Amino acid sequence: MSTIRLQGGRLYDPTHGIDGVVRDLVLRDGRIVDLPAHEAVDQTIDVTGCIVMAGGIDMHTHIAGGKMNLARLMLPEDHRRGFDPAPLPLNPLELASCGHCAPGTLQTGYSYVKMGYTSAFEPAMAASNARHTHLEMGDVPILDHGAYVMLGNDELLLDMMTRQQPIERIRDYMAWTIHATKALGVKVVNPGGISAFKFNQRRLDVDEAHTHWSVTPRQILQTLARCLQDLGIPHPLHIHTSNLGVPGNIASTLNTIEALEGLPAHLTHVQFHSYGKEGPHKFSSAAVELAEAVNRHANISVDVGQVMFGQTVTISGDTMRQWANAPAGSPRKFGGADIECDAGCGVVPFQYREKSYVNALQWSIGLELFLLIDDPWRVVLTTDHPNGGPFGSYPHLIRLLMDKAFRDEQLARLHPDVAAHAPLREIRRELTLYEIAILTRAGPARLLGLSDKGHLGAGAAADVAVYRVQDDIEAMFTTPAYVFKDGLLVAQAGEIVATPTGGVHFAEPDFDPSIGKTLQSYARRHLTVNPAHAVIGHDELCSCGRGGRLLPTACFPTSPLAA
Ligand SMILES: [Zn+2]
Ligand SMILES: [Zn+2]
């Protein structure tokens, strides 16, 4: 492979504390290398006056799995020419694909890459749907990818906990699940709540008992977080907390942080979990409370799940909460599913409106969280695509975070009660390019344990985005001048110029294989699938990923595992 020198760019590489330093960057054999200035290269690209960052990493975006397909089915209008704001691709490298809030797999890859993103992670893979998820992610061109498997509502785990099985057995079951589904991490959605919904519970707070299994969300959180830590999985428990979207849910969110007792954890789409119930509308911002809690707890990281105005579709494993949200659907549709006593989902199309008090406040709460959490390494830029809005809105969101005057202008257009009283009005902070590089690359790479991603040091994957400096930050981040994936130029000035196949990240924890007996006996009584057939091997994973590279992540167990 050729050696490329990017000459004269201004580098933002927070992993190495590099903040806008003018320096050449050399890409060789898919990696970033140290090469003395006098050594010859095959190609030199002049990027003088441009900003150079590692490729963007979206650590929470619903790009695959059953839910996104249901959303595509429910929103045919999203796939109609003319509805999509993007023009028809005239580039022969781009196969026909479209969609905005529920894009096709091809469109997903093209759109991310054109924006300078090179990795994306599906956060809610149902274990029994893992094959489909890998096939669908593998169909997304260019992007490296991976998925977090859902646990915490599966009947086997709840059954093991109710019968007070030793934590080592539960840990083996978790490790087997990660191994079988080739997951990178574990997500828990509304701990116990998806299961409780099937037993006619319509809410489940952190210390409320499941009517059938008698366990509480607190116990589930502690069990899962501890097992993951013991297994040495780099990404800690990924938590969608109880009571999504409910006014006053800040209490459950703070209780969840406290329930973790210092164990590392990642709280996802926290915007949807930072609501008070003050004021005439009985719905208020609790961003200050959550930000203070995150600032105090170094074990907690978050992604925001920012709300952006316009049409989207909400897709969540949280059947309980999506059932409650169904009447607000626009267009008025709802789909729900449950699979193999394992996990559920609910799909509700939705329009976020500037003049809606609730939506305007949600928008404001998200921005407040970004700006009030002190440590940028523990807050990640997401819209929970497509739940808060499609990922294509990231450049606009970056401008909102970097430009107080622009933010105020937008705020003034919102529902008058929000425009007049939102705590956001008083926040003067404007994020810097260095901080944006943390929120969109360096931070998520570190939180996922991807040591060769998210930075520009020698040995890193040569995933690089080069942005031509413009006064309009939104325009700058919308269309990078150059995007490289593993050292190959894949996009130039908004055009796809190559479509390599991305790789798949997954974790490989150790476990005691005798857990297989438990799985077999449970499956015989309750499931349709033989667990021996559920395991996705390396060859199959490779073929699911259309031959893309397998990228296993090292595990560092903190406690001795069963031999
Ligand atoms: Zn979620
Ligand atoms: Zn999500």
Q: For 364-373, how does the pLDDT look when each residue is reduced to its tens digit (9 = 90+)? A: 999 999 999 9
Closest ligand to C-alpha of residue 123 is 2
Q: What pLDDT does 544 receive?
A: 95
Tell me the per-residue pLDDT of 111-131, one tens digit each, with 9 for 90 and over: 999 999 999 999 999 999 999
CA of 491 to the centre of ligand 1 (A): 31
Ligand 2 (single-atom ion) residues, CB below 5 Å: 384
Q: What pLDDT does 557 receive?
A: 81
Q: Which amino acid is at 332?
A: R
CA of 236 to the centre of ligand 1 (A): 15
Mean pLDDT over 154-159 rounds to 96
**Residue at token pair 């992540």:** 553
CA of 446 to the centre of ligand 2 (A): 19
Q: What pLDDT does 2 receive?
A: 87
Spatial CB neighbours of 210, under 8 Å, sequence gap ≥ 6? 158, 192, 195, 196, 199, 201, 204, 216
Of 125, 112, 16, 135, which is closest to residue 56 (Cα–Cα)? Answer: 112
Distances (CA, A) of 292 to 161, 273, 296, 368, 376: 33, 14, 6, 12, 14
d(CA 213, CA 159) in angstroms, rounded, equals 7
Closest ligand to C-alpha of residue 194 is 1
Of 478, 503, 505, which is closest to residue 493 (Cα–Cα)? Answer: 478
d(CA 497, CA 490) in angstroms, rounded, equals 5
Grouping H, G, I as helix, E, B as strand and the rest as coil, residue 137 is: helix
Tell me the per-residue pLDDT of 233-275, one tens digit each, with 9 for 90 and over: 999 999 999 999 999 999 999 999 999 999 999 999 999 999 9
Backbone angles phi and psi of 445, in degrees to 5: -60, -45
Mean pLDDT over 189-213 rounds to 97
Q: How big is the CA angle at 219 (ends 217 and 220), to the nearest 5 degrees?
A: 60
CA of 269 to the centre of ligand 1 (A): 7
Residues 535 and 211 sit within 8 Å (Cβ to Cβ): no
Mean pLDDT over 518-544 rounds to 94
Q: How confident is the model at residue 539 (pLDDT cuts 50, 70, 90)?
A: very high
Closest ligand to C-alpha of residue 318 is 1
Distances (CA, A) of 550 to 21, 91, 134, 320, 496: 34, 29, 12, 35, 24
Q: What pLDDT does 560 receive?
A: 52
Closest ligand to C-alpha of residue 272 is 1
Spatial CB neighbours of 454, under 8 Å, sequence gap ≥ 6? 15, 54, 57, 441, 442, 443, 444, 445, 446, 460
Residues 40 and 79 sit within 8 Å (Cβ to Cβ): no
Tell me the per-residue pLDDT of 298-337, one tens digit each, with 9 for 90 and over: 999 999 999 999 999 999 999 999 999 999 999 999 999 9
CA of 409 to the centre of ligand 1 (A): 30
Distances (CA, A) of 256 to 144, 396, 451, 510: 31, 31, 29, 28
Closest ligand to C-alpha of residue 150 is 1
Q: How confident is the model at residue 388 (pLDDT cuts 50, 70, 90)?
A: very high
Q: How confident is the model at residue 563 (pLDDT cuts 50, 70, 90)?
A: very low
Spatial CB neighbours of 80, under 8 Å, sequence gap ≥ 6? none
What number of other Cβ atoms are within 10 A of residue 512's Cβ? 15
Q: What pLDDT does 130 receive?
A: 97
d(CA 547, CA 279) in angstroms, rounded, equals 55
Evaluate if residue 562 carries a pLDDT over 60.
no
Q: At 482, which helix (H) or strand (E)?
A: strand 482-485
Evaluate if residue 360 carries a pLDDT over 60.
yes
CA of 62 to the centre of ligand 1 (A): 9
Tell me the per-residue pLDDT of 451-464, one tens digit each, with 9 for 90 and over: 999 999 999 999 99
Evaluate if residue 351 carries a pLDDT over 50.
yes
**Residue at token pair 């969840």:** 256
Residues 482 and 466 sit within 8 Å (Cβ to Cβ): yes
Q: How confident is the model at residue 73 (pLDDT cuts 50, 70, 90)?
A: very high
Closest ligand to C-alpha of residue 321 is 1
Mean pLDDT over 545-551 rounds to 96
And the tokens for 124? Answer: 């809610």
Q: What pLDDT does 85 receive?
A: 55
Grouping H, G, I as helix, E, B as strand and the rest as coil, residue 79 is: helix
CA of 548 to the centre of ligand 2 (A): 25
- Which one-letter DSSP state was computed for residue 311? E
Q: What pLDDT does 541 receive?
A: 98
Q: What pLDDT does 74 receive?
A: 94
Spatial CB neighbours of 116, under 8 Å, sequence gap ≥ 6? 53, 55, 56, 465, 467, 477, 480, 483
Residues 436 and 403 sit within 8 Å (Cβ to Cβ): no
